[in-house]
């Protein structure tokens, strides 16, 4: 709904607040329930002390509705109504002078989506496309990250799909092409999996020299319980034709990208073996709630263990082929490009690297002397975590206790209790090792597009 700022002013002689009956009448009129009856939502009001001047921020379908509501204020003095925008709206439209962009019903309003992300506590990197990360302190705590605080990574506008008319099409080298409604999918056998998603660019801003791409800190990672249909069941229903080995997953989103003249769709591919091994899920619920539009409503792919680019949101088509997918985000992006021995070496971004993050203490936090808990999360795409070691002030590595359930594709919390005897700076480092025996490097190898930065996390606190 459009936003307005209202300014009401009256003369000191006729100040309605001095007359108990008039004051009460205006208070009641301005109350939230009374405003709602007039079709107005009041966001907050304040009187400027000593100036007989009242401001409030309100939403209404249009100015006429708001003006009708303001009648008692016009009788008491003057009223000025100014059209306004949220800060998110101004940034989304490109500045204070720009008119708000026309929003098509096929997409979420970027300003609204951004406002929701900011209110939920995400650290927004960009409004278009909407990208925001979770704060590292928010990672540990509950078994999963609350939906509003789950990081967001988009490449294009966020589709606003209609679940009623939505169909998932499965075609290509199959025995039977399928067109499945959400009702069809809900009628299939459902499974729930707790899965950590991490953006391959998580930690990119910590690479030096700087690399292009979204400058993520360390919070482009979150965990949720995803519910939906095992992908393999849908593929088996369609039936593979001889030679069929690969699947392409197409999202409803798309747009122009560098190096292409025509708009592209967001597409990724996996082999049949990869989806079977990973236990991929067609998810329609996130933490027990219907998937939200920013996270892929009504249906997304979840590929446990893989960097999250594989987990295609707003999934509308699955195409079965005999050749690997050659889409932009498969072949032109999401490749490690290391510079080794004077030449480039390339490898595709696949499973998540092993990594631990310290959620407590926070960078720069003051800790009292005495008993303290060092805490965090750790995960790996290659298997569950076997150990996490912590080093204080470059001292020896000490094994932390793993807390909670051990799951194949979800992060593991860890904790180390220690006594802090000395005041002064405290450098905390944490290093995870997975069941496959992989551990973290001191510094991850620099690569041109800044993927997979699993350098050992270090925070410095202050013991007081
Ligand atoms: N259709 C579509 N799927 C997508 C993306 C996208 O832009 N479009 N981004 C991918 C990337 S790079 C990441 S990190 C995850 C982010 O998922 P989230 O926004 O639910 O956290 O979605 C993946 N799936
Ligand atoms: Mo990502």
Query: Cβ of 4: how many Cβ atoms within 10 Å?
Result: 21
Question: How far is residue 462's CA from residue 411's CA, in Å, rounded to a whole number?
Answer: 28
Which residues make beta-bridge pairs with 6?
56, 81
Q: 3.30.70.20, 3.30.1300.10, 3.90.420.10, 3.40.50.300: which CATH number matches 131-333?
A: 3.90.420.10
Return the residue matching tokens 């939920």.
120
Please give the structure tokens belonging to residue 319.
């195409």
Under DSSP, is residue 336 helix (H, G, I), strand (E, B) or coil?
strand
DSSP 245-264: -EEEEEEEEEE--TT-SS-E
- Give the number of the ligand closest to the Cα of residue 154: 1
Domain positions in the chain are: 3-84, 131-333, 355-463
Tens-digit pLDDT profile for residues 40-99: 999 999 999 999 999 999 999 999 999 999 999 999 999 999 999 999 989 888 898 887
Query: Cβ of 211: how many Cβ atoms within 10 Å?
Result: 18
Give the closest residue (by CA) to ligand 1 atom 18: 152
Rg (CA), the chain: 27
Tens-digit pLDDT profile for residues 252-310: 999 999 999 999 999 999 999 999 999 999 999 999 999 999 999 999 999 999 999 99
Tens-digit pLDDT profile for residues 399-457: 999 999 999 999 999 999 999 999 999 999 999 999 999 999 999 999 999 999 999 99
- 217 within 8 A of 123, measured Cβ to Cβ: yes
Q: Identical fold at 3-84 and 355-463?
A: no
| CATH class in words for 355-463 | mainly beta
| Nearest residue to 144 via CA among 424, 438, 413 | 413
Hey, which of 203, 284, 309, 314 would you mutate to test ligand 1's pocket, going by the most ligand atoms within 8 Å of its Cβ? 309
Hey, which of 133, 144, 154 would you mutate to test ligand 1's pocket, going by the most ligand atoms within 8 Å of its Cβ? 154
- Cα–Cα distances in Å, from 416 out to 192, 269, 365, 428, 434? 30, 40, 17, 11, 18
Ligand 1: atom nearest CA of 198 is 14
H/E stretch holding 413 reads strand 412-420
CA of 197 to the centre of ligand 2 (A): 9
CA of 350 to the centre of ligand 1 (A): 14
Ligand 1: atom nearest CA of 156 is 7
Question: What letters, b where the CB count within 10 A reaches 16 and e where it falls short, cover 111-135?
Answer: bebbbbbbeeebbbbebbbbbbbbb
Give the closest residue (by CA) to ligand 1 atom 20: 295
Which has the minimum average pLDDT: 142-151, 308-317, 390-399? 142-151
- Cα–Cα distances in Å, from 44 out to 31, 77, 275, 315? 10, 20, 51, 40
Please give the structure tokens belonging to residue 405.
């359930």
- Give the number of the ligand closest to the Cα of residue 250: 1
Asked if the 3-84 domain carries CATH number 3.30.565.10, the reply is: no
- Give the number of the ligand closest to the Cα of residue 200: 2
CA of 312 to the centre of ligand 1 (A): 6
Cβ(309) to ligand 1 under 6 A?
yes
| Nearest residue to 286 via CA among 305, 266, 313, 268 | 313
- 329 within 8 A of 155, measured Cβ to Cβ: yes
């Amino acid at each position: 709904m459009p936003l307005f700022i209202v300014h009401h002013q009256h003369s000191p002689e006729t100040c309605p607040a001095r007359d108990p009956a008039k004051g009460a009448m205006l208070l009641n009129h301005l109350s939230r329930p009374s405003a709602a009856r007039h079709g107005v939502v009041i966001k907050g009001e304040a009187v400027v002390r000593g100036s007989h001047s009242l401001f409030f921020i309100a939403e209404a379908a249009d100015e006429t509705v708001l003006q009708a509501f303001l009648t008692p204020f016009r009788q008491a003095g003057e009223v000025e109504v100014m059209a306004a925008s949220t800060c998110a709206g101004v940034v989304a439209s490109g500045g204070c002078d720009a008119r708000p962009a026309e929003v098509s019903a096929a997409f979420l309003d970027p300003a609204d989506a951004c406002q929701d992300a900011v209110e939920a506590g995400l650290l927004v990197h960009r409004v278009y496309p909407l990208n925001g990360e979770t704060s590292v302190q928010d990672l540990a705590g509950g078994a999963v990250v609350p939906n509003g605080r789950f990081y967001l990574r988009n490449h294009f506008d966020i589709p606003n799909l209609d679940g009623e008319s939505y169909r998932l099409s499965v075609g290509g080298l199959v025995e039977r092409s399928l067109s499945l409604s959400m009702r069809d999918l809900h009628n299939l056998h459902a499974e729930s999996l707790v899965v950590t998603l991490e953006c391959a660019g998580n930690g990119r801003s910590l690479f030096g020299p700087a690399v292009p791409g979204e400058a993520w800190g360390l919070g482009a990672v979150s965990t949720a319980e995803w519910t939906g249909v095992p992908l393999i069941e849908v593929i088996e229903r369609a039936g593979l034709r001889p030679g069929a080995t690969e699947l392409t997953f197409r999202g409803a989103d798309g747009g122009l990208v560098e190096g292409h003249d025509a708009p592209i769709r967001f597409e990724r591919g996996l082999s049949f073996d990869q989806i079977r091994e990973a236990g991929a899920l067609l998810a329609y619920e996130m933490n027990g709630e219907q998937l939200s539009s920013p996270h892929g409503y009504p249906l997304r792919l979840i590929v446990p263990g893989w960097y999250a680019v594989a987990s295609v949101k707003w999934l509308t088509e699955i195409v079965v082929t005999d050749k690997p997918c050659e889409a932009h985000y498969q072949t032109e992006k999401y490749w490690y490009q290391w510079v080794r021995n004077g030449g480039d070496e390339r490898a595709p971004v696949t499973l998540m690297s092993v990594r631990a993050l310290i959620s407590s203490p926070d960078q720069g936090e003051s800790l009292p002397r005495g008993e303290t808990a060092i805490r965090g999360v750790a995960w790996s795409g290659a298997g569950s975590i076997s150990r996490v070691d912590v080093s204080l002030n470059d001292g020896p590595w000490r094994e932390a206790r793993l807390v909670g359930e051990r799951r194949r594709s979800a992060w593991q919390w860890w904790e180390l209790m220690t006594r802090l005897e000395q005041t002064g700076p405290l450098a905390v480092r944490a290093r995870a090792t997975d069941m496959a025996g992989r551990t973290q490097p001191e510094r991850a190898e620099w690569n041109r597009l800044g993927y997979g930065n699993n350098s050992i996390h270090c925070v410095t606190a202050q013991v007081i």
